[in-house]
Structure 1
Amino acid sequence: MTSLKFSKMHGLGNDFMVIDGISQTFTPNNQQIAQWADRNFGIGFDQLLLVERAQTNGVDFRYRIFNADGSEVQQCGNGARCFVKFVSEQGLTDKQEIVVETASGIIKPRLNDNGLITVNMGKPRFAAAEVPFVLRGGETDGAVSYIVMNGIDSAEMSMVSMGNPHAVMLVADVATAPVADWGEALQYHERFPERVNVGFMQIVDKNHIKLRVFERGTGETLACGTGACAAVVSGVRLGVLAAGEEVLVELRGGELRISWAEGGDVLMTGAATTVFTGEVVF
């Protein structure tokens, strides 16, 4: 039998099991992670976050993310905020700003004096190969939006990679948006070879949106940090959101503040909360 200490954390209701893989040994196992993720028979979470030693000079930590089905993914914005709070609380660092390597590149989260956490999420990418997204005849690579069919209906969507793939759709009202239908339909769609996170964005004004996100490997979550970034980036490119200004993103689990100007990095600020610590035996 093996015992493993962990923290249960959340970023606006997007919840995580966070494991220190530096002072203890943990080898990720898809089946084990899926069992722990079960909300009736396990710990219950959207993603598992694993803290590891950095593999690159000048970097503080390596950050790995596993969905509730056990699949490993490249990036998670809400998880990044929980990550920096976790390493601070666990005494793994005394820095306010850390440098973290992920499967999609380097991020630099910062613990602010007010307790909120700001993450420089890097530059968004729009090239089809980087999302990834399969282009069809006549479509322009890196276009602001594309028409996508779900087998029955069609919708205009913006494609953005924030280190993970996002498709963002404008809707009149997030309360009645077809989140489950479109989210499920696009998970194994031929145009998304690595599946996709699907965002449903309602514009309130140029500095305020409402957002729901269906996450690949998990389903709809209360909040999605990279989804909030992708939505604001898409809104700026579409000309419906203010470039270079802070945009309030209202999610079901709470609020994030995102800013982005063409050619620049995306900055995300929000809260991270530790719910409890525990130990699992397996």
Structure 2
Amino acid sequence: MRRPFTKMHGLGNDFVLFDARAEPLPLTTQQVRSLSDRHTGIGCDQLFVLEPSDRADVFMRIWNSDGGEVQSCGNGARCVAAWLGGAPSIDTAGGLLHATATAGAASVDMGVPRFDWDAVPLAYAMDSARLPVAWGELEGPMALSIGNPHVVFFVPDTAAVPLETLGPEIETDALFPERVNVGVAQVTDAGLTLRVWERGAGLTRACGTGAVAAAVAGIRRGLVRSPVAVTLPGGTVEVAWAQGGGATLSGPATRVFDGEIDPDDFA
């Protein structure tokens, strides 16, 4: 059975979106991997299936390109908001999000960041504000949850960090029972420059929750002030956050093309 889909991206962080509110679309891990493949499938960093929700306009199921289901995706939520239009509420496994779409862009309240070690989560109790651990040249990160787990390292030069090798090592460290997204951030006159190794997706051109995590970590350490411009390889987003409140992520959301495909061909 052929199903319509939409390809979208936020700063090059790209997604495939299926609308299953009227007709369910169960997908296996292998189907997600195959549909996400950039050579033999549609190609994306994350894949979404929109389903009915009892408490929001839509429930957003999220898979990384490796087939693993995850709780949250900031740029993805912005793209879903732009696809829906207006001011939709979006239910996710990581919490309820409220968004606003404008022409070619969207903002989403990503909720209140969590810093308790068991909320990140970490494998055992420690100070999440500056973890007493190191991997090569990277040390003393802040750990936090933006609906999904992150560690943020502040470095003099993000381009000099071999994130393609350190990223997977940190992602799968036993300290992080649910694996972790790894960000390296640099303070600049304009705000922050950021690169992210996403769990289950690898190096991406942008990461919405990663941008929020870096901005929040920078504000908590007194390195930057809200709102923070966060520049990733794919472009710049803005993050606004005040202590104790929700973090708002704003930036472009682009519809690339629409198509139809039979997911059973990718089983």
Which TM-score band (shorter chain)? over 0.9
User: Which residue of structure 2 lines up, in the alignment, with residue 149 of structure 1?
Assistant: 134
User: Which residue of structure 1 lines up, in the alignment, with residue 90 of structure 2?
Assistant: 100
User: Which residue of structure 1 lines up, in the alignment, with residue 45 of structure 2?
Assistant: 46
Matched, 1:259 2:240: yes
Matches within 5 A, 1:1-282: 2-56=1-55, 59-88=56-85, 96-112=86-102, 114-135=103-124, 139-140=126-127, 143-150=128-135, 155-205=139-189, 208-242=191-225, 245-281=226-262, 282=265
The answer to whether the Cα contact below 8 Å between 2:75 and 2:209 also exists between their aligned partners in 1 is: yes
How far is 1:154 from its partner? 5.5
How far is 1:178 from its partner? 2.2
How far is 1:187 from its partner? 2.1
Q: After the TM superposition, which segments of 4 or more aligned residues of structure 1 sit over 4 Å from their partners?
A: none
The answer to whether the Cα contact below 8 Å between 1:108 and 1:120 also exists between their aligned partners in 2 is: yes
Query: Tell me, what secondary structure is at the counterpart of 2:185?
Result: strand
The answer to whether the Cα contact below 8 Å between 1:174 and 1:201 also exists between their aligned partners in 2 is: yes
User: What amino acid sits opposite 2:75 in the alignment?
Assistant: N
- Counterparts of 1:117 and 1:154, CA distance in 2: 33
The answer to whether the Cα contact below 8 Å between 2:24 and 2:51 also exists between their aligned partners in 1 is: no
User: What amino acid sits opposite 2:12 in the alignment?
Assistant: G
Output one character per residue of 1:48-104: Cα deviation in whole Å (capped at 9) or x when no partner. 011111133xx211111100011100000000011112223xxxxxxx211111101
How far is 1:170 from its partner? 0.7
The answer to whether the Cα contact below 8 Å between 2:104 and 2:254 also exists between their aligned partners in 1 is: no
**TM-score, length basis structure 2:** 0.94
Q: Any gaps of 5 or more consecutive residues in structure 2? A: none
- Counterparts of 1:196 and 1:261, CA distance in 2: 24
In the alignment of these two chains, the number of paired residues is: 263
Which range moves more in the overlay, 258-267 or 219-228?
258-267
How far is 1:145 from its partner? 1.1
Query: Tell me, what secondary structure is at the counterpart of 1:147?
Result: coil
Relative to structure 1, the CA distance from residue 38 to residue 86 in structure 2 (aligned partners, 3 Å threshold; closer, same or farther) is same
**TM-score, length basis structure 1:** 0.90
Query: Tell me, what secondary structure is at the counterpart of 1:146?
Result: coil
Percent of residue pairs identical: 41
Output one character per residue of 1:137-165: Cα deviation in whole Å (capped at 9) or x when no partner. xx43xx42112233x56611000100000
Query: Tell me, what secondary structure is at the counterpart of 1:231?
Result: helix
The answer to whether the Cα contact below 8 Å between 1:157 and 1:168 also exists between their aligned partners in 2 is: yes
- Counterparts of 1:256 and 1:120, CA distance in 2: 13
Q: Any gaps of 5 or more consecutive residues in structure 1? A: 89-95
- Counterparts of 1:101 and 1:22, CA distance in 2: 13
- Counterparts of 1:5 and 1:192, CA distance in 2: 37
How far is 1:270 from its partner? 0.4
- Counterparts of 2:15 and 2:182, CA distance in 1: 20
Aligned CA-pair RMSD: 1.4
User: What amino acid sits opposite 1:230 in the alignment?
Assistant: A
- Counterparts of 2:233 and 2:99, CA distance in 1: 23
User: What amino acid sits opposite 1:109 in the alignment?
Assistant: A
